[in-house]
Structures are given as structure tokens and as C-alpha cells.
Amino acid sequence: MASLTQLEVWSKIFTDEMIDHITFQSSLYANRECSNRAATVSPHEIRQFFRLILLSGYHRLPVAKHYWSTQPDMGAQVAISTMSRNWFMEIKKYLHMADNQKLVKCAAEMVKPCPAWY
């Protein structure tokens, strides 16, 4: 594992199958639970979303929307060129890992993840 690059480690954790699952569940949640057909995402967009989340780990700003700021001391060009702020916020809003309708009622509250980014 020590000889792997950072991208190789990432690819071992976030496999194509996992990204496809997250893509499917997020789109399903947006369509079924929130009646938002416009929030259907692609695997490529999910990967881009997670890259921006990783960016926030070393390029800290007080609020997520500041990554798209036009102020020279705030904006992050990589975020601006990756996706629009509004689309990032839509993905964040509908990001889902499991089908709510298949969860056992008592376990449903334990599967809600903590916010990944404020």
C-alpha cells in the first residue's frame, strides 16, 4: 500500500462500482423523494464533487460558496472550472448512499451521515 500513489489509493476506496452506486442512489433520491428530475447526476459529476470535497480539506474557506467567489482572495479556480456553484450545491443536497425505502425503520436514523462540508 505504501508504494501506491494517492490516486491509486483513492481508486481502491472509491471503485467504479461504488461511484455508480452513489450516482444511482443520489439520482433516485432526488427523483423519488424530492421530485427533482433535474438533479440526475453522472458518475463523472460525482467524482468531481468528491474532488472538490477533498480540495476543501487543504484549501479552507469559511463557507462552501466562497470557492466560486470572484474575489481574488477567496475563489478557487479549480472549483470554478470543475462545476458551477449551484450544481455543486444541488449534488450536495441530494447526495445519497442508500435507498430510504429499503431501510429498516429502526436503523434508518443510524444511516444518516454527518455533514461532510459546511
**Contact at 8 Å (CB) between 44 and 23?**
no
> Consecutive 10-residue runs of the chain (118 residues): their mean pLDDT?
84 92 92 77 95 88 91 88 94 87 63 54
Q: What's residue 58's pLDDT?
A: 83
Q: What's residue 118's pLDDT?
A: 41
Q: List Cβ neighbours of 56 (8 Å cut-off, separation of 6 or more).
A: 64, 67, 117
Question: First CA to last CA across the chain, in angstroms?
Answer: 31
Q: List Cβ neighbours of 16 (8 Å cut-off, separation of 6 or more).
A: 43
Q: What's residue 24's pLDDT?
A: 93
* In the chain, domain spans: 14-108
**Contact at 8 Å (CB) between 49 and 95?**
yes
**Contact at 8 Å (CB) between 113 and 71?**
no
